[in-house]
Chains A and B, each alone.
Chain A
Amino acid sequence: MSDVNITIIDREGVRHEVLAPTDMNMNLMEVCKSYELPVQAVCGGMAMCATCQCYIISDHDLGERNDDEEAMLWEAQNVQENSRLGCQIPISADLEGLIVELAPEED
């Protein structure tokens, strides 16, 4: 299976061009962690903490937020129209060229 190229902009504005595998059942939060990017992922991927919140910068269509993700984003800080939880975005071939920016950490 092929990998996809994803650009992750960290909280200092540094761009990280990473390769993400599409065949490892990984999500965007896990990709960030595997590259040691500063994503805490407190809840481990249950859409319960919003520490993996990111903004989708490129115009990829990722579909609707799921219910858990939507509910978590009601309560999180710094939420924008293009906010998503990285843990709810599975890595697939459609994500080739995706650009995301990590949301600020909550205070």
Chain B
Amino acid sequence: MEKQMITTDILIIGAGPTGLFAVFEAGLLKLKCHLIDALAQPGGQCSELYPKKPIYDIPGFPEVLAGDLVDNLMQQIAPFQPGFTLGERAETIEKQEDGSFIVTTGKGTKHHAKVVAIAGGLGSFEPRKPTIDDLDRYEDKGLSYMIKNPEDYRDKKVVLAGGGDSALDWTIFLADIAKEVTLVHRREEFRGALDSVEKVQELVDQQKVRLITPAEILKIQGEDKVEAVLLQHNDEAKRMEEIQCDAFIPLFGLAPKLGPIADWGLEIEKNAIKVNNSLDYQTNIPGIYAIGDVNTYPGKLKLILCGFHEATLMCQSAYQRIYPDKRYVMKYTTVGGVDGFDGSRKVAEKAVVKKIGSK
């Protein structure tokens, strides 16, 4: 079935802090934004890699947790009602005759925008795959690197591998749904939130989860789908064991890849997109901008605060591109306030002008 096309003024690829803040600056100019991100939640690296780490160089915030910064940005842009296509990676871009663009994701969702701003950070996060032969033979035939729909595992025998938060969290979640859950990890130690580690311990004690550590999965078995995995216990005897299963889910974290953007005809230097930093952060293709960690220019610094600045200038240029004949001057939010697309209005309270008399 053909999905309906999403239309917007500025299509932002990447929902990290830079992409999110661009929504705000665009909103002040009455431009609508839609964001695409390969991750299932907004925030980019801040949410995915280090939500609990403090950042000390956001102007005006002596200290802010990366996760809180994302929450604040989401709150700040909410009045401008951005659209999101999450969990999908932008794959192709086609320039239209009128200068606009159509960007299609891997799942076929199409987006039509007057301007495209790539705020892709280090690229889209893709699952790190284990080193096992014939992996591609079993992909989507019982082997997956991320869990999209937990219901797929109802009453199934599932083997999970990994030692981080996602392996722990999904073990806990699937323990209630699946018929059998086995967690395999190379080490006896896990790196995750304390309560997740304790919960898994509890499930192991109650024999709701089988834990096999230290061990490594060496092979997948099955004719045309996953039927079993072969693992080696990392003990003195190096004992091998076969575990019958319907699904094998290695959760070894995510690694960013520049991905398909690299093939969009943009000028690339050292894994980053070259832009014009003396003007507006536009790429070699007019109408496509690159802001934040994904771009490069002489003196580039990959800092969130620099991304905010780049997003702001990009929006001004995008406005002129979209409305070449309109006159516009930048207005301070202290003067103009913020008019949301949702009808909300924020504005500085007027000072009173009132006579103060004496008795």
By size class, the interface of chain A is 10 to 19
List residues 165-211 of chain B with CB under 8 A from any CB of chain A: 185-187, 189, 191
**Docked pose: A9 CA to B356 CA in angstroms:** 78
A71 near B50 with CB under 8 A, answer no
Known A-B contacts A46-B49, A48-B49; A74 and B255 likewise in contact (beta carbons under 8 Å): no
The SS class assigned to the B binding surface is loop
Name the prevailing secondary structure of the A interface residues. Answer: loop
Complex contact A106–B45 (CB within 8 A):
no
CB B134 to nearest CB in A, in angstroms, measures: 15
**Residues of A contacting B302 with CB < 8 Å?**
44
Cβ–Cβ contact A106 & B50, under 8 A: no
Is B256 on the interface with A (CB-CB < 8 A)? yes
A74 adjacent to B271 (CB under 8 Å): no
Which one of A43, A67, A71, A107 lies within 8 Å of B49 (CB-CB)? A43
Shortest Cβ gap from A52 to chain B (Å): 13
CA of A76 to CA of B253 in the docked complex: distance in angstroms?
9
Q: State A107–B129 Cα separation when bound (angstroms).
A: 8
Q: What residues of B have a CB within 8 angstroms of the CB of A68 in the complex?
A: 191
The complex places the Cα of A75 from the Cα of B189 at a distance, in Å, of 13
Q: Given A46, A48, A75, which contacts B252 in the complex, CB threshold below 8 Å?
A: A75
CA A60 – CA B348 in complex, angstroms? 62
Q: B45 — which chain A residues lie within 8 A by C-beta?
A: 43
* A57 interface residue per 8 A CB criterion: no
Q: Are B256 and A67 in contact (CB under 8 A)?
A: no
Tell whether, in the assembled complex, residue A67 and residue B255 are in contact, meaning their CB atoms are under 8 Å apart.
no
Chain A residues in 8 Å Cβ range of B129: 107
A49 engages B191 (CB within 8 Å)? no
B53 at the interface (CB under 8 A from A): yes
> Which residues in chain A, 25-83, are within 8 Å of chain B measured between CB atoms?
40, 42-44, 46, 48-51, 67-68, 70-71, 74-77
| Contact present for B271 and A75 (CB under 8 Å) | no
**C-alpha gap A42/B128 in the complex (Å):** 14
In the complex, what's the smallest C-beta–C-beta distance from B77 to chain A, in angstroms?
A: 25
Partner of A74, one of B50, B131, B186, B256: B186
User: Do A75 and B50 form a contact, CB below 8 Å, given A42-B256, A49-B255?
Assistant: no
20 A-B pairs besides A75-B164, A76-B128 with CB distance below 8 A are A40-B122, A42-B255, A43-B45, A43-B49, A44-B302, A46-B49, A48-B49, A48-B50, A50-B255, A51-B255, A68-B191, A70-B189, A71-B191, A74-B185, A74-B186, A74-B191, A75-B128, A75-B253, A77-B128, A107-B129
Residues of B within 8 A of A (CB): 45, 49-50, 53, 122, 128-129, 131, 162-164, 185-187, 189, 191, 252-253, 255-256, 271, 302
